[in-house]
């Protein structure tokens, strides 16, 4: 479990690396803004492909081997960034994006398999490490890069990933028995014939879209919409991610005090309040308050929804969770784009943020439906009226 957390921290650094090194890449390759923006599409495309391949590869090879393979992809892609051509840069980002797409679902589901009884708490902790890595990415790059080179940055990341990969391979045989036992107890019923499973996947689509949209647009929102008079050490974006990480760190304590259903309902209510504060903020201090509230509200929603999925469909569902992660990736891309689309056509980024409010309200409505289905035991009824083992 410790190794998974360390590996996820490095993955968090790499996931947001492109935004931090883009100025250097733009200078090296003389990129236009359009060309630079297309690099993000390369990472998203690679990540989406990795999420598509996750289930079939994990079924064939097991989690440790897939995690080791994802490290190899991330190592190769990271080092290729130094080759100094447009084609190699596109290939590099696509390759490490593929590795990230494999790593994220595999890590989350492996955490569930290692201790299914505490899945919500453990998922919250491991995603705290990913978020902490994302926060560390900028200072890490600032310390290791120069104005003309990212070699030290990429070499340090590649070294860390190599060490993680080696330990995964060493422990492969030790955890192989766990995966075999999980497969033997898997339900014979197809999870994705059940409407309940798709409701959880749509929930992920909307929620990850909210997180990505806020992370992608709130800095621009701060620059355009809010009166930034006065001096503040924190930006709205950094405060959003900081409270997101703090909330995940507190996850194990929160789950001891309340049920998963209560936690997710309260979190969604906090998200709605935080988004409302952002929408009506006229000063930077109000915007910072809204960003902090929204980040804390978002913090445990993803881990809790993943735990709700595995708790409903049993340990064997971890190797059948590919649609959850594919829709998460699509939601992150689509809703972030939708905020920009609404902003462009309305001429006001504040209008774009109403998309985020609408998504938060939709999550609350969807969560009410999901909770009622769970209480009514509808979630374990298939189209053929078969019941999966719990």
Residue 18 tokens read as 């492109």
Q: Where are the alpha helices (DSSP H) in 115-150?
A: 119-144
pLDDT at res. 297: 94
Distances from the Cα of 376 to the Cα of 126, 208, 266, 369, 373, angstroms:
31, 27, 21, 11, 5
pLDDT at res. 33: 66
Can you give the residue ranges of every domain in the chain?
Answer: 2-184, 191-380
Would you say the CATH fold of 191-380 matches that of 2-184?
Answer: yes
Instruction: Please choose, from the candidates 369, 132, 165, the residue with its C-alpha nearest in 3D space to the C-alpha of residue 265.
Output: 369
Domain 2-184 has CATH 2.60.40.420: no
Q: Phi and psi at residue 227, in whole multiples of 5°?
A: -70, 110
Cα distance between residue 225 and residue 144, in whole Å:
34
pLDDT at res. 93: 94
pLDDT at res. 364: 96
Instruction: Please choose, from the candidates 356, 330, 226, the residue with its C-alpha nearest in 3D space to the C-alpha of residue 287.
Output: 226
Residues 130 and 11 sit within 8 Å (Cβ to Cβ): yes
Q: Please, which residues have CB within 8 angstroms of residue 73's CB and are 6 or more apart in sequence?
A: 95, 96, 98, 99, 102
Residue 358 tokens read as 């609408």
pLDDT at res. 232: 54
Cα distance between residue 183 and residue 59, in whole Å:
9
Provide the CA 233 distance to its chain's centre, in angstroms: 26
Residues 296 and 270 sit within 8 Å (Cβ to Cβ): yes
Count CB neighbours of 62 within 10 A.
21
Residues 275 and 284 sit within 8 Å (Cβ to Cβ): no
pLDDT at res. 243: 92
Residue 39 tokens read as 């690099």
Residues 17 and 25 sit within 8 Å (Cβ to Cβ): no
Query: What letters, b where the CB count within 10 A reaches 16 and e where it falls short, cover 121-148?
Result: bbbbbbbbbbbbbbbebeebbeebbeee
Residues 99 and 70 sit within 8 Å (Cβ to Cβ): yes
Digits of tens for pLDDT over the chain (390 positions)? 888 999 999 999 998 888 788 888 888 888 876 677 788 888 888 999 998 888 888 878 888 899 999 999 999 999 999 998 999 999 999 999 999 999 999 998 888 888 777 888 888 899 899 989 988 888 898 899 887 889 999 999 999 999 999 988 887 665 555 554 544 444 445 788 888 999 999 999 999 999 988 888 887 788 877 765 544 556 788 889 889 989 988 888 888 888 888 999 999 999 999 999 999 998 888 999 999 999 999 999 998 998 888 888 876 777 788 888 889 888 888 898 899 888 888 888 899 899 999 999 999 999 999 988 887 755 444 443 344 433
Angle at 145 between CA 152 and CA 69, to 5 degrees: 50
Residue 204 tokens read as 């992920």
Q: Which CATH superfamily is domain 191-380 in?
A: MFS general substrate transporter like domains (1.20.1250.20)
Residue indicated by tokens 């201790």: 115
């Amino acid at each position: 479990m410790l190794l998974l957390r360390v590996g996820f921290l490095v993955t968090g650094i790499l996931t947001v690396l492109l935004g931090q090194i883009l100025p250097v890449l733009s200078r090296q390759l003389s990129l236009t803004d359009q060309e630079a923006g297309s690099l993000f599409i390369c990472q998203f495309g690679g990540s989406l492909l990795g999420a598509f391949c996750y289930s079939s590869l994990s079924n064939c090879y097991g989690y440790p081997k897939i995690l080791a393979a994802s490290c190899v992809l991330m190592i190769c892609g990271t080092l290729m960034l130094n080759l100094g051509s447009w084609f190699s840069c596109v290939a590099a980002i696509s390759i490490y994006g593929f590795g990230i797409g494999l790593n994220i679902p595999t890590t989350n589901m492996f955490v569930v398999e290692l201790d299914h009884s505490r899945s919500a708490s453990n998922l919250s902790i491991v995603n705290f490490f990913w978020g902490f890595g994302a926060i560390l990415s900028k200072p890490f790059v600032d310390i290791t890069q120069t104005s003309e080179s990212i070699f030290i940055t990429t070499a340090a990341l590649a070294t860390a990933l190599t060490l993680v990969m080696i330990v995964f391979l060493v422990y492969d045989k030790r955890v192989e028995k766990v995966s075999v036992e999980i497969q033997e107890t898997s339900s014979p019923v197809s999870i994705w014939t059940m409407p309940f499973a798709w409701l959880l996947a749509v929930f992920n689509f909307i929620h990850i879209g909210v997180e990505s949209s806020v992370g992608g647009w709130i800095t621009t929102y701060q620059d355009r919409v809010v009166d930034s008079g006065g001096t503040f050490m924190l930006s709205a974006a950094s405060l959003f991610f900081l409270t997101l990480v703090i909330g995940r760190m507190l996850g194990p304590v929160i789950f001891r005090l309340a049920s998963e259903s209560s936690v997710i309902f309260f979190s969604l209510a906090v998200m709605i309040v935080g988004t409302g504060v952002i929408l009506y903020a006229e000063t930077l201090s109000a915007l910072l308050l809204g960003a902090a509230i929204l980040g804390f509200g978002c913090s445990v929603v993803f881990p809790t929804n993943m735990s709700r999925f595995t708790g409903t469909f049993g340990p064997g569902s971890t190797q059948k969770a590919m649609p959850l992660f594919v829709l998460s990736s699509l939601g992150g891309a689509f809703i972030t784009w939708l905020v920009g689309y609404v902003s462009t056509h309305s001429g006001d980024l504040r209008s774009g943020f109403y998309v985020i409010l609408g998504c938060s309200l939709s999550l609350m409505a969807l969560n009410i439906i999901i909770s009622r289905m769970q209480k009514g035991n509808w979630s374990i009824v298939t189209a053929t009226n078969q019941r999966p083992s719990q």
